[in-house]
Structure 1
Amino acid sequence: MKARTGPPDGVRGPPAPQGVSKQDIREHIWDYLESRNLADFPRPVHHRIPNFKGSYLACHNIQDLDAFANAREVKVDPDKPLEGVRLLALQSKKTLLVPTPRLRTGLFNKITPPPGATKDILRRCATSEGVRSHSLPVGLESRVQVDVVVVGSVAVSEKGWRIGKGEGYADLEYAMMVSMGAVHRGTPVVTIVHDCQVKDIPDTLVEDHDITVDYILTPTRVIVTGCERPQPSGIMWSKISHEMMEKIPILRSLRRREEQAGKDVALQEGPRHIPLLGSQHVAPPGGIRRHQEPQGGTRGAPQREDPLLAAATVSVGNLPFDARVSDLKRALRELRQAPLQLTWQGPRRPALLRYQDPASAQQAISYLQGLRLGANTLTVALARQQRDR
């Protein structure tokens, strides 16, 4: 199969600057998608695998791949722009496996639509909410043989080099699948992006643990990369921190299994930032703190509001009627958002997130836009602005 004709002029976007880092390329792509209004919900796309206008059209191009047509089990990441592929897999009655968020409860969930599911129900099953509601966990002992791996990307090159959002979960998931025997050297890897996300990526930015892609699907093209660089051959334990082991229980199970097989499973020595898991916006020790009475204050006494404090407080409203504080905490953890303090006022009133300073609060607002709990899209704004309305 050959690559289709390139996109119309102007769709590719300007070339990425030379001598850049992975983060430089990410910021370049995110800014371009937003500035040209190519981004789609959830927005802003910064710090995400970006959803883009035309993602369903790009997803439908996977039907041109024999690898997908012949596949029985497909692993598709939970990112929004891959929703169309998840739907096609369900409609084709393939086994659909979706990684669990941040690998907290295992590696995969198997999506299990209800018997006699209509197209509308399958469409809901393909969403992130449907993945949570209509799935069963797949354990290490399950006999899984993934035929196609579909991953999200922030940027990808026609040579097959891929850049994710910087947390490294796709790379780690692939390495774990290798360790489980769920994929092999010839398992094709597909990514789905907007045409402007196809960029030249310097070879020097590709690291040993990075997965590469065999096919790139855009709204206008099917690109066969012909990448011959071998995929990671398993988990590189020397790059796994003790902190990561604590956060991901399935890693501990895989480590014990490989240790019993006589493999070297020595972990990373000392703190070191690596792209296998991001370190930004990590919760402080003990996690999110609940609201406490001010020291020296009198309960119920009128207090003069500190304008700086108000400017560093984010109000999160439109909570579902049956929402609990644990639901909001979980959603914040999934987005790597850790306020200094969380004040829960019940589902009928906004929750208040206290940050270190106004700049941190504004950054949190950009991360939390489009956040959903159940069927509700939450409203997120500075608490001061909410009161001024």
Structure 2
Amino acid sequence: MEPVIKINSGASKWDIRQQVWDYIEENNLANFPRPVHNRIPNFKGAFTACARVSELQEFTQTAEVKVDPDKPLEGARLAVLQAQKTLLVPTPRLRTGLFNKITPPQGASKEQLRVCSSSQGVKDFSVPVDLNAKVKVDLLVIGSVAVSEKGFRIGKGEGYADLEHGMMVSMGAVNESTVVVTVVHDCQIVDIPEELIGSHDLTVDYILTPTRVIKTNCPLPKPQGIIWTKLDTEKLEKIPILKTLRDLEEQAGKDVTLGAVPAAAESDLQIGQPKKQTRRRARQNVQQDAARESKQEKGPEGEQKARQRPARVRKESRGDGRGGNEGEDERGKGKSGRNMREKGPEEGGSEVPSQRKLPLSVTTVYLGGIPAGLRVSELKTALREREVAPLRLTWQGAQHRAFLDYSDPQAADQALESLQGLSLNGHSLQAELARSQPGGKRSGQPSRRSRPSTAIKSKTAPPGTKDDTTENTEQ
């Protein structure tokens, strides 16, 4: 079957990702969360494709299955639970371990199993699996941005699937014969040049789509463990379990020398979003705003407007490393209006920073009760873990609140549902539709619950309190 998306000669991994993301968006082939850029796309027909996993002979012979936590793989997680097999899901960003075991309630109904297979269910019904536990994973189900019929796979660029596989090899949970399955839309099957696939890249044995099952007979071997030279000390600090695995491999006499990877040229395997260049434009915008305010202060009316206008500081949003979430919508824009970037760091390219324009009408979600001392990066991480991806995040940490802008009320309602029960640093956050927001009127519906108006004058934070200034951060 001829690929729908034609890959240009000499295309990089990021070029291929952008082509796939743009095609899915332009043809409206995805469900929430949108846009799909910098995500594993939740394509339409994902449940149909996931259901095909139970048709595989290898699936019927398995006892333990690991399925990634991406939204489009929800149907695969449900199929595993319905077949009464052990379901393992990687822990978010590998912070506390390698994976969790999903344990549904005793005698769970089909609807309860469906809840357990959702992102919220993964949080509520999971039990951490100890590194010393004797785990034997028979089948892996992973997400992809693009894949070829030969089994070459491209993820979203953070390298978690590759690293998770290496870690499972290290602890003896998988080997070269463990079957790897990916689930994608038909349009995501493209011709990927073999030279783009590195020694750390995980290949796949089966591709499931809404219309077919493809056995790849991939000619390349799977990675035989963690490639330590692809990692550095910063990654070990972010993922403590790596330190333990490194100590174990060192005791076994293996070479665990870390690589000295430049911060500006991180490889595809490295965890976290690629580093961004500092934008001078943000500083210029602040200077221009200050100049305009100075002119307005000359007259009584101008002085009043200047006092009423909140201080606004534009800041480049940085990713903290899955997703996806996930810091996941922080690329530059292309001519199609989607987030775009040139060659990624793994290909030696540089970011093309630009600011995304908001639609004329947005629906805003108010997030209150933010505890003192919480950093905006911590909130972003929590949002990515709950698959909440606003068009823009306006951070007002000093006032213990933030605002999330969405393109339509439906997207805002979905975000509200995902944010229910969110707690950070021991404080429960309040999420509801906002009435208003500093900087202009919003089209969101009025809140169903009474609360003070959000149009409160911003206070300038003292020097050094970076996260307490009012920030508009594009997600």
Partner of 1:249: 240
The one-letter amino acid of 2:381's match is R
Partner of 2:203: 212
Identity of aligned residues (%): 50
Offset, 1:383? 5.0
Offset, 1:304? 4.5
Q: Residue 159 in 1 paired to residue 150 in 2?
A: yes
Offset, 1:204? 1.0
Q: Which whole-Å CA distance do the structure 2 matches of 1:57 and 1:99 have between them?
A: 23
Q: Which whole-Å CA distance do the structure 2 matches of 1:168 and 1:198 have between them?
A: 19
Give the conservation status (yes or no) of the 8 Å contact 1:13–1:32.
no
Q: Residue 374 in 1 paired to residue 425 in 2?
A: no
Q: Residue 303 in 1 paired to residue 307 in 2?
A: yes
Q: Which whole-Å CA distance do the structure 1 matches of 2:18 and 2:220 have between them?
A: 26
Partner of 2:78: 87
Give the conservation status (yes or no) of the 8 Å contact 2:145–2:156.
yes
Question: Aligned ranges for residues 77-116 of structure 1 at < 5 Å?
Answer: 77-116=68-107
Residues 278, 342 of structure 1: alpha-carbon distance in 2 compared, 3 angstrom cutoff:
farther
Partner of 1:275: 268
Partner of 1:343: 397
3-state SS of paired residue (2:441): helix
Which of 365, 373, 389 is the aligned partner of 1:317? 365
| 1:298-328 Cα distance to aligned partner (Å, 9 max, x none) | xxxx834268648999996244x88767698
Offset, 1:90? 0.5
Residues 204, 282 of structure 1: alpha-carbon distance in 2 compared, 3 angstrom cutoff:
closer
Give the conservation status (yes or no) of the 8 Å contact 2:20–2:145.
yes
Offset, 1:384? 5.2
Question: Aligned ranges for residues 352-371 of structure 1 at < 5 Å?
Answer: 352=403
Give the conservation status (yes or no) of the 8 Å contact 1:100–1:108.
yes
Partner of 1:231: 222
Which of 124, 131, 136 is the aligned partner of 2:115? 124
The one-letter amino acid of 2:55's match is D
Residues 344, 224 of structure 1: alpha-carbon distance in 2 compared, 3 angstrom cutoff:
farther
The one-letter amino acid of 1:242's match is T
Q: Which whole-Å CA distance do the structure 2 matches of 1:384 and 1:310 have between them?
A: 14
Which of 35, 56, 77 is the aligned partner of 2:26? 35
Partner of 1:25: 16
Partner of 2:5: 14
Q: Residue 200 in 1 paired to residue 191 in 2?
A: yes
| 1:28-58 Cα distance to aligned partner (Å, 9 max, x none) | 0111001101011111111100000000000
Q: What 5-or-longer segments of structure 2 have no aligned partner?
A: 278-305, 318-357, 407-411, 423-430, 444-475
3-state SS of paired residue (1:216): strand
3-state SS of paired residue (1:252): helix
The one-letter amino acid of 2:402's match is A
Structure number, greater radius of gyration: 2
Give the conservation status (yes or no) of the 8 Å contact 1:310–1:384.
no
Q: Which whole-Å CA distance do the structure 1 matches of 2:244 and 2:14 have between them?
A: 32
Q: Residue 133 in 1 paired to residue 124 in 2?
A: yes
Partner of 2:461: none
Partner of 2:65: 74
Give the conservation status (yes or no) of the 8 Å contact 2:231–2:261.
no
Partner of 1:387: 441
Residues 316, 98 of structure 1: alpha-carbon distance in 2 compared, 3 angstrom cutoff:
farther
Give the conservation status (yes or no) of the 8 Å contact 1:52–1:194.
yes
Question: Aligned ranges for residues 163-174 of structure 1 at < 5 Å?
Answer: 163-174=154-165
CA-atom RMSD, angstroms? Answer: 3.6
Which of 173, 176, 182 is the aligned partner of 1:185? 176
Offset, 1:281? 6.8
Q: Which whole-Å CA distance do the structure 1 matches of 2:375 and 2:312 have between them?
A: 28
Give the conservation status (yes or no) of the 8 Å contact 1:192–1:217.
yes
Give the conservation status (yes or no) of the 8 Å contact 2:309–2:439.
no
The one-letter amino acid of 1:333's match is T
Q: Which whole-Å CA distance do the structure 2 matches of 1:279 and 1:312 have between them?
A: 16
3-state SS of paired residue (2:307): coil
Q: Residue 147 in 1 paired to residue 138 in 2?
A: yes
Q: Which whole-Å CA distance do the structure 2 matches of 1:277 and 1:166 have between them?
A: 8
Residues 187, 310 of structure 1: alpha-carbon distance in 2 compared, 3 angstrom cutoff:
closer
3-state SS of paired residue (1:387): coil
Q: Which whole-Å CA distance do the structure 1 matches of 2:105 and 2:194 have between them?
A: 46
| 1:196-223 Cα distance to aligned partner (Å, 9 max, x none) | 0000001110001000000000000100
Give the conservation status (yes or no) of the 8 Å contact 2:366–2:402.
no
TM-score, length basis structure 2: 0.66
Could you tell which deviates more after superposition, 327-336 or 266-275?
327-336
Offset, 1:147? 0.3
Q: What 5-or-longer segments of structure 1 have no aligned partner?
A: 1-5, 285-301, 354-360, 363-367
Could you tell which deviates more after superposition, 174-183 or 337-346?
337-346
Which of 25, 36, 41 is the aligned partner of 1:50? 41
Q: Residue 332 in 1 paired to residue 373 in 2?
A: no
Q: Which whole-Å CA distance do the structure 2 matches of 1:340 and 1:112 have between them?
A: 37
Residues 70, 176 of structure 1: alpha-carbon distance in 2 compared, 3 angstrom cutoff:
same
Residues 266, 93 of structure 1: alpha-carbon distance in 2 compared, 3 angstrom cutoff:
same
Q: Which whole-Å CA distance do the structure 2 matches of 1:76 and 1:305 have between them?
A: 48
Q: Which whole-Å CA distance do the structure 2 matches of 1:246 and 1:196 have between them?
A: 38
Offset, 1:344? 5.9
Residues 230, 245 of structure 1: alpha-carbon distance in 2 compared, 3 angstrom cutoff:
same
TM-score, length basis structure 1: 0.79
Offset, 1:270? 4.7
Offset, 1:118? 1.1
The one-letter amino acid of 1:277's match is Q
